[in-house]
Structure 1
């Protein structure tokens, strides 16, 4: 049985603040696969849920993993500080992007361009990395039930309890 929603207001603010995002799944045979996320927003249809934008052509192996068992790991990292959390969910599902989802892509890209630019990554590289036509966006919906601090350091990998401060 899933644990209660772990998305505190602080955690929602962090994961929706235009961070570097990776979505990982397993292909059912134990082979890990991942795709870069292109944005994240709270899911208005669920309590404690998230909607993650990904490019369908790049995400096909992850989507097959989700279809196999619904399990995903989500990593959100602040490029300037390496402040990082990992969320795990067992109920991931795939759906079409709606207008509110596609509206996230432009601001996400612009913010990540600035964030990565502050540490020397050229703007054209970041824009190419995050480029995705709107008709190729797909949404992964999930309600995380575990959260781990992954900021590099002695406490990396520790499970965070309900309401515990982010690393």
Structure 2
């Protein structure tokens, strides 16, 4: 019997809602590397997969690790509430950005600017942090197979079962 997909509609809605995203991978020695994500979309060809947008120059160490082993951990955090989840997968790899990925960059940045403004983060800082020329855009595609609640508090780090509510 095939287990239910980890990426439920509610979880997909949450992770694609213009959150703060960090993507991690590790090399064969277990040395971790990290890059800031620039957006997340469901893969239109496979709704159980996600497309993570990254700036190529900053993402090179992560992309090398993913090419070697496919293991990924992506953290999605809602700045206003600190509601956070971590998704893990074993099949991560690069794919070519498409027109929809490129079109997603500006709205993602605009929404995160607005979210962080409520916390007093200056707009120029956020725009600089998220700046990525379209020609530098890279996409990481993966199937989440584990989900963990990472919202600060006593239940942080607990594995969530398929169908669990987003913490």
TM range (shorter): over 0.9
Count how many residue pairs are aligned between Structure 1 and Structure 2: 166
Distance 1:95 1:9 in 2: 23
Matched with 1:52 is 52
Residues 1:3 and 1:59: Cα distance change in structure 2 (over 3 Å): farther
Q: Does 1:32 align with 2:32?
A: yes
1:47 to partner: Cα distance: 3.4
Question: Residue 47 of structure 1: SS of its match in structure 2?
Answer: strand
Deviation at 1:4, TM superposition (A): 3.8
Q: Deviations over 1:125-163 (max 9, x none)?
A: 000000000000000000000000000000000000010
- Structure 2 spans left out of the alignment, 5+ residues: none
Any gaps of 5 or more consecutive residues in structure 1? none
> Partner of 1:21 in structure 2?
21
CA RMSD of aligned residues (A): 1.0
Match of residue 106 from structure 2: 106
Q: Which moved more, 1:42-51 or 1:11-20?
A: 42-51
Is 1:152 aligned with 2:148?
Answer: no
Partner SS state of residue 154, structure 1: coil
Aligned to 1:66: 66
- Aligned CA distance change for structure 1 residues 48 and 32 (closer, same or farther; 3 Å): same
Between the aligned partners of 1:23 and 1:165, the Cα distance in structure 2 is 22
1:4 and 1:91 map into 2 onto residues whose CA distance is 17
For residues 96 and 80 of structure 2, the distance between their equivalents in structure 1, rounded to whole angstroms, comes to 32
> Are the aligned partners of 1:96 and 1:137 in contact in 2 as well (CA < 8 Å)?
no
CA distance in 2, matches of 1:76, 1:130: 15
Name the TM-score, length of structure 2 as normaliser: 0.97
Moved over 3 A (4+): none
Deviation at 1:96, TM superposition (A): 1.6
